[in-house]
């Protein structure tokens, strides 16, 4: 059974929700507020925004607002996915560099100095550990943020 996370939003004027530099974009403060209100709520919950406008708002303005919200979080999601792709590529490269360095340390025909061999070995293990740590522990945080942004990109918006 899915429950709902209801976020109450109240506006006194249109300027409260539009970006000060681009009136077709959602304001950063509202975007951050909505995201903050989702923190700690179960991921299985459906997100609903209840918007109360303390001014006369036309149906066209309502549709524009809904579009702004959905596009804002869709854009945030696309940016976050791009960041994750680059970070994952970097982790893969670091992992393989670690393997190569460990290989060099064990087969030190190239490096005859024992100290240099040990340094290369340590750097190799650290590189592998960094990649493994990120995959094992940081990936949960990334999945949560990705899912939350997907939910917000498709959230239901009611005008009350």
Query: Token digits for 66?
Result: 């809904």
pLDDT for the residue numbered 145: 94
Q: How far apart are CA 148 and CA 58, in angstroms?
A: 29
5-9, 10-14, 60-64, 109-113: least confident range: 109-113
**At 125, which helix (H) or strand (E)?**
helix 114-133
Q: How far apart are CA 36 and CA 27, in angstroms?
A: 14
pLDDT at 109 over 90: no
The pTM is what? 0.81
Res. 18 pLDDT band, cuts 50 70 90: confident
Res. 16 pLDDT band, cuts 50 70 90: confident
Compute CA distances 82 → 70, 73, 131, whole Å.
18, 14, 18
What percent of the chain is predicted at pLDDT more than 90? 66
CA-nearest of 12, 50, 42, 22 to 160 is: 50
Query: Token digits for 76?
Result: 């945030």
pLDDT at 113 over 80: no
């Amino acid at each position: 059974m899915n429950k709902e996370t209801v976020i109450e939003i109240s506006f006194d004027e249109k300027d409260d929700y539009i970006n000060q530099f681009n009136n077709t974009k959602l304001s950063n403060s509202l975007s951050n507020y909505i995201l903050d209100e989702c923190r700690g709520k179960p991921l299985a919950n459906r997100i609903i925004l209840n918007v109360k406008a303390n001014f006369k708002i036309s149906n066209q303005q309502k549709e524009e607002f809904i579009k702004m919200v959905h596009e804002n979080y869709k854009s945030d999601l696309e940016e976050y996915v791009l960041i994750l792709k680059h970070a994952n590529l970097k982790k893969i490269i670091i992992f393989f560099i670690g393997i190569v360095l460990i290989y060099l340390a064990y087969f030190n025909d190239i490096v005859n100095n024992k100290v240099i061999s040990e340094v290369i070995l340590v750097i190799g293990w650290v590189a592998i550990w960094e990649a493994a740590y990120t995959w094992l522990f940081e990936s949960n945080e990334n999945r949560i943020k990705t899912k939350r942004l997907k939910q917000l990109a498709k959230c239901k918006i009611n005008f009350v």
